[in-house]
Amino acid sequence: MSLLVVGLNHRTVPVELLERMTVPEDRLAKALHDLAAREHLLEVVLLSTCNRTEIYARCTQFHAAVGDVRDFLAAHSGADPDEFADHLYTYYDEAAVAHLFSVAAGLDSMIVGESEILGQVREAWQTGVREQTAPQLLSRMFKHAVESGKRVRTETGISRHPVSIPSAAVAVAAEHLGDLDGARVLVIGAGHMGSGLASTLRSRGVAEVVVANRTVERAERLATQIGARAIPLTEIADTLVDTDVLLTSTASSEVLVERAMVEMVMACRDGRPLLVVDVALPRDVDPGVGDIPDVTLLDLDDLKEYAQRSAERRRGEIGKVRAILAAEIERYRAERAAREVGPLVTSLRDLAEDVRRGELERFRAKLAKLDPDARELIDAITQGVINKLLHEPTVRVKDAAGTPRGDYYADALASLFDLPTEPTVESE
């Protein structure tokens, strides 16, 4: 049984393709069960954010499992596999573990050290556990990755002066306008990202923040927290007439801001420019909005330059992060090996005891003719033979746990004696 991750991210594909691969939150459970039902995928966790879509799996065969994931992505996105196959990255076993730990630590993010990804990794793990698609190995791996991500942020400066996608979006908006003081801003979305946008804006001295959301009650709760005003989505056009900046990030699978609506709004603004920053994936804003005179449309691709500058400031911490991750990965590997070797050794001893008892039972009639002391002696001798035969192999496999030699020993024992290798299900 092996670990596998197959995915695409902001570095490997353009936004247009990445947004087609995104799995919205309301479709995540169905997607997990779709993946788990495939022949070569035993456990599955799906991590889908505005920067990546990755499938982590415990699989039976590497190439067949990659094929299962590719088929899922094609069916989900409606894309021809040839359209995205060259953009996929795959990691196997130890490389898959290292990749997840790097993601949780923020090293693989568009903005190095960004804070949102750790929570997203945790949510992906918890969803897999809740939907019972990651009951064992993947659950333990994700739990350890989340713990490592917390340690990295506590012991290094990788997240010092936190930079997140919301803060980056606001910073980029400020760069384009020169300043946000006195600006009127409309935020569409009151979820995690929208809350981050609204809170960051309020700390930048804007004149007014308006929050729009499909569920008005949620917009009102966020507005109350930051001293903003809440509106339903139906009032977006009217509000945009007097807005300087539109920031949007929802989980909608449909475009919320159409070109025709913005053209109508701009006709009422007397030539005043409008800045639109869309950090949603799939995108909330019709890309054609960027072609309207006096409208500047920025999306995730436009945050990459800012992200690169941020990475330069944090580069000095990356070595420290990698050292922590190396230690944590080694600890995880040792714990995994010990967890798997323990039941394996127990299974081997149980098998030997079953054989011993079976043979004694086979000769029960003859043994019954012996006196009790002789029968006890035979029982003790056969137990001693089993213990002596198994002592050295079990000591060696336990001592080597967590090393390549230990993996070899464990695989050999399981194969030679046809021992079960599945760990027992544990609650996390």
Looking from the CA of 360 toward its CB, the CA atoms found within 13 Å total 17
The residue length of the chain stands at 428
Claim: this prediction has a pTM higher than 0.85: no
Domain assignment present for 326? no
* Residue 404 clears pLDDT 80, i.e. is over it: no
Domain assignment present for 323? no
**What confidence score (pLDDT) does residue 213 get?**
92
Whether residues 190 and 246 fall in one domain: yes
DSSP one-letter code for 269: T
Whether residues 154 and 261 fall in one domain: no
Cα–Cα dist 219/231, whole Å = 7
Token readout for 217 is 């009650």
Percent of the chain exceeding pLDDT 90 equals 49
* Residue 18 clears pLDDT 70, i.e. is over it: yes
Domain assignment present for 410? yes
Token readout for 372 is 């009790």
Cα–Cα dist 398/396, whole Å = 5
**What confidence score (pLDDT) does residue 293 get?**
94
**What confidence score (pLDDT) does residue 142 get?**
96
**What confidence score (pLDDT) does residue 161 get?**
57
Cα–Cα dist 120/122, whole Å = 5
Q: What is the C-alpha radius of gyration for the chain, rounded to an integer number of angstroms?
A: 28
**What confidence score (pLDDT) does residue 428 get?**
37
Angle of CA points 191, 139, 424, to nearest 5°:
150
Of the candidates 50, 173, 295, 325, the residue annotated as catalytic is 50
Q: What is the mean pLDDT of the chain?
A: 87
Lowest pLDDT segment from 291-295, 342-346, 348-352, 398-402: 398-402
Q: How many domains does the chain have?
A: 3
Domain boundary among 115, 139, 162: 162
Neighbours of 424 (CB within 10 A): 7
DSSP one-letter code for 257: B
What's the pLDDT tens digit per position in 320-349?
999 999 999 989 888 877 776 778 888 889
What's the pLDDT tens digit per position in 158-180?
876 556 778 788 888 888 888 88
Whether residues 126 and 13 fall in one domain: yes
Domain assignment present for 309? no
CATH of the domain at 123: 3.30.460.30
Q: Between 343 and 233, name the one with better pLDDT.
A: 233
**Contact in structure between 2 and 58 (CB atoms under 8 Å):** yes
Domain boundary among 255, 278, 303: 303
**What confidence score (pLDDT) does residue 311 get?**
67
Whether residues 158 and 238 fall in one domain: no
What's the pLDDT tens digit per position in 74-98?
999 888 888 888 889 999 988 999 9
Q: Three-class SS of residue 78?
A: coil
**What confidence score (pLDDT) does residue 181 get?**
83
* Residue 366 clears pLDDT 80, i.e. is over it: yes
CATH of the domain at 262: 3.40.50.720
Cα–Cα dist 354/348, whole Å = 10
**What confidence score (pLDDT) does residue 176 get?**
84
Given pLDDT bands bounded at 50, 70 and 90, which one contains residue 60? confident
Domain assignment present for 314? no
* Residue 59 annotated as catalytic: no
As a whole number, mean pLDDT of residues 1-6 equals 84
Parent domain of 83: 2-162
Given pLDDT bands bounded at 50, 70 and 90, which one contains residue 403? low
